[in-house]
């Protein structure tokens, strides 16, 4: 029964990695397409001046690719060692929060939502800092407990 479970885990993991890879490829092609046509459109219509609203889609696509790559790395690490690396999870959270900030329309968002997002950033960043500090301390002292 244990062999069946391991085999099932492998099938699911490889399926997730393949789907993630295809999704990353599609997002990357879309990112290149958007970047190229946004630059061409911007130069033709408004010149080379700064227009932050024009690049918003490119940033969102970039963070989508980055987020998906980190999720794929999380699945890959879990498949190899069956260990959840909390630092990778927190990094994925920070990337997702950053993406949410880019997507958010600042003029239409309630202030309480912004405060909640700020609190979330502080909490996740503090967690990432503490985990990194703990890993650094474990490496210095030779303690294998953090692994």
pLDDT digits 0-9 by tens, 31-67 = 898 888 877 777 777 665 666 666 777 888 888 898 8
Neighbours of 66 (CB within 10 A): 18
Q: Which two tokens stand for residue 140?
A: 């210095």
Contacts of 87 (CB under 8 A, 6+ apart): 128, 131, 132, 135
In a domain, 146, yes or no: no
- 82 has pLDDT over 70: no
In a domain, 147, yes or no: no
Q: What pLDDT band is residue 84 in, cutting at 50, 70 and 90?
A: low
* Total number of domains constituting the chain: 1
In a domain, 25, yes or no: yes
Assessment of whether the complete model's pTM goes beyond 0.85? no
In a domain, 55, yes or no: yes
User: Residue 58 is part of which domain span?
Assistant: 2-141
């Amino acid at each position: 029964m244990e062999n069946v479970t391991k085999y099932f885990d492998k099938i699911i993991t490889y399926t997730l990695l393949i789907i993630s890879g295809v999704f990353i490829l599609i997002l990357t092609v879309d990112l290149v397409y958007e970047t190229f046509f946004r630059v061409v459109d911007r130069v033709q219509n408004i010149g080379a001046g700064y227009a932050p609203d024009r690049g918003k889609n490119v940033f969102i696509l970039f963070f989508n690719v980055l987020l998906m790559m980190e999720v794929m790395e999380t699945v890959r690490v879990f498949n190899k060692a069956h260990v959840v690396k909390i630092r990778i999870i927190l990094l994925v959270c920070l990337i997702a929060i950053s993406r949410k900030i880019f997507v958010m329309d600042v003029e239409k968002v309630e202030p309480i939502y912004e405060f909640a997002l700020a609190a979330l950033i502080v909490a996740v960043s503090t967690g990432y800092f503490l985990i990194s500090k703990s890993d650094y301390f474990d490496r210095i002292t030779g303690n294998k407990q953090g692994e």
